Amino acid sequence: MKIITPQDFHSATSGKHILLDTSIFIDAFLHPSEFAEFFNKLKDRNCTLVTIKPVLIEFVKGTTTDKKLDEKKSFVESIIESYLPVTDDIFDNSLDLIEQYRIEGKDLSLTDFILGGVVLKYKRSIYLLTKDISDFPTNIFTMLTYFNLFHRKAIQNIGVYSA
Amino acid sequence: MKIKDRLPIVSRKKKIDLKKFEALAKRVKKSFEEENKYREEKISRNENNNPTGFSFGY
């Protein structure tokens, strides 16, 4: 697998806080060398990689032993600099999003609403990376850029969103 | 915006050590494979108990 970024990807994201969705951590353990290089390049460009505890919970749920739970947690924390606090105003933003999504929000996870709430709170200071592009429609969020996971027999898209 | 609401500023970003990261990723992947096996078995059990396949999604 290769990570293919548009020419202006790193200049577009430089110096930003990058909020990582669960889907990114999943791809990162499936393709560790490619993602380690990608994350380090972002860090070189002064990006601050962050996530929220609900993403961690989504990532670790169902883990069968304490040791494996610690490993998953360490994996997430080896990538990010910190967890952003999920404050009350973020939940208020999530409720606003429910009004905007209407029926399209029916299948969204609670984590997606909270991530959306974080994006609304920090506006252009934070960029959300997610593979679940159908969960973040462009009538509500702005897709600023994207990158591709170029597989032997498939191409997948990862969107970079802001409010 | 209150101080607690500001985005954290980290001047020195911690770099990912490729060797350690790959080893950890391998163990995490194994955990997910085991958990997925359980999930597939559960879905198959649920299908047997719910022949219409109708679900409220909860």
Whether residue B5 and residue A63 make contact (CB cut-off 8 A), yes or no, is: no
3-state secondary structure of A128: strand
- Chain A residues within 8 Å of chain B (Cβ atoms): 17, 26, 28-30, 32-33, 36-37, 39-40, 43, 46-50, 62-64, 68, 71-72, 74-75, 78-79, 81-82, 84-85, 87, 89, 106-107, 121-122, 125-126
- Chain B nearest CA to A163, separation (Å): 16
For residue A87, which of B1, B26, B39, B56 has the smallest C-alpha distance?
B1
Measure Cα distances from B44 to A87, B22, B51, B54 in Å: 39, 33, 11, 14
| CA B16 – CA A41 distance, rounded (Å) | 10
Query: Quick check: ipTM above 0.85?
Result: yes
Do strands A48-52 and A17-20 pair parallel, antiparallel, or not at all (unpaired)? parallel
3-state secondary structure of B6: coil
**Is A5 exposed, middle or buried (CB count within 10 Å of its CB: 0-12, 13-18, 19+)?**
middle
Residue B58 scores a pLDDT above 50: no
List per-residue pLDDT tens for chain A, 163 residues long: 999 999 999 999 999 999 999 999 999 999 999 999 999 999 999 999 999 999 999 999 999 999 999 999 999 999 999 999 999 999 999 999 999 999 999 999 999 999 999 999 999 999 999 999 999 999 999 999 999 999 999 999 999 999 9
CATH number corresponding to A2-11+20-162: 3.40.50.1010
pLDDT in tens, B43-57: 777 767 665 555 555
Task: Measure the CA dihedral B40/B46/B52/B55, to 10°.
Answer: -90
pLDDT of B40: 83
Residue B3 scores a pLDDT above 70: no
Instruction: Work out how many CB contacts closer than 8 A connect A with B.
Output: 83
